[in-house]
Amino acid sequence: MNPTCNVQIFNTRLSSNNAIAIIRHYDIILDGTDNFGTRYLIDDCCLALNKIHIYGAIFQFEGQVSVFNYQGGPRYRDFHNEIKNKHILEDTCSNAGVLGLLPGIIGTLQATETVKVILGYKFILSGIVLKYNALTLSFKKFKIINTQFILSQKNKLGKGQLITKGSHLFQEINVIEFKKLLYNNSSKYIIFDVRSPKEYRTMHLKSAINLPLQNLKEQKYLILDEKDTKCFIYCSLDSRSIFASNFFAKQGFKITRIKGGLNAWINIIGSESL
């Protein structure tokens, strides 16, 4: 229906053998699967690749939606840990049924969260499960409290929150703090835009240098003097900048990632300041 969309179809079943290779090319993963095994697989891959996981599930007259692995928030296993249950095969849509209209409702809610994430809006269903009941036409929200992530860590660390990804460490800064730093600090700095050249030519932060993620390892950036230069990284949203920040951190650089990327800058600061 939209001729500008590039739809790629994988004529195969998602498995542990191909999941990483498929998922790594995308920033946001919408999970419309119907079994726990595939959901756990998607969850593990999204965590490993720093991808946003937008979850949707349906059963009989009810549905659930949430956003996992978003800016340090909970993952799917925090919400639904794997439990061995001999009756688990009995509770499927195939034999228990599902209201035919329900997939469209839950899918629309997933699409709504996707658009909000892309546009950089603040209120995302991260750490929250939205439950819909078609019989009562009601919505309820539940907080995810069984999580290995420290959701209140930001309040303890304040500005320049340190984020740990595996064995690497990098800093994060929001666009408001970043703008203040640019205008109030005379220190040397360099800004890396890790989006594609086409995205960069369309719009980018002032003084930013295009360093496409796909060419990251080929760039001769190691001549930078990190003692005298502050390095910042951003992308459209978060996924690519997180990957790039981890890559730089592995090389020993002190990197600060701009949270929310260009989308957050446009929505909060405004495009006229670019």
What is the spatial distance between Cα 265 and Cα 118, in angstroms, rounded to a whole number? 12
CB atoms within 10 A of CB 165: 15
d(CA 48, CA 236): 20
Mean pLDDT estimate for the chain: 80
Q: Looking up tokens 């690749």, which residue turns up?
A: 49
d(CA 183, CA 250): 30
Average pLDDT of the segment spanning 170-174: 86
Question: For position 181, what pLDDT does the model report?
Answer: 84
Phi/psi of residue 191, each to 5°? -115, 125
Instruction: Report the Cα–Cα distance between both ends of the chain, in Å, rounded.
Output: 33
pLDDT tier, 35 (very low <50, low <70, confident <90, very high otherwise): confident
pLDDT of 151 > 70? The answer is: no
pTM of the predicted model as reported, rounded to 2 decimal places: 0.54
Q: pLDDT band at residue 94, thresholds of 50, 70 and 90?
A: low
Spell out the domains of the chain, with CATH numbers in brackets.
Answer: 19-143 (3.40.50.720), 153-273 (3.40.250.10)
Lowest mean pLDDT of 5-19, 73-87, 236-250, name the range: 73-87
* Per-residue pLDDT at 67: 95
Q: Which residues are catalytic?
A: 93
Q: Are 188 and 272 in contact (CB under 8 A)?
A: no
Is residue 157 scored above 80 in pLDDT?
no
Residue 66 contacts residue 132 (beta carbons within 8 Å):
no
Q: Where is pLDDT greater, at 178 or 154?
A: 178
Query: Would you place residue 163 in the very low, low, confident or very high pLDDT band (cuts 50, 70, 90)?
Result: very low
Lowest mean pLDDT among 118-122, 128-132, 140-144, 195-199: 118-122
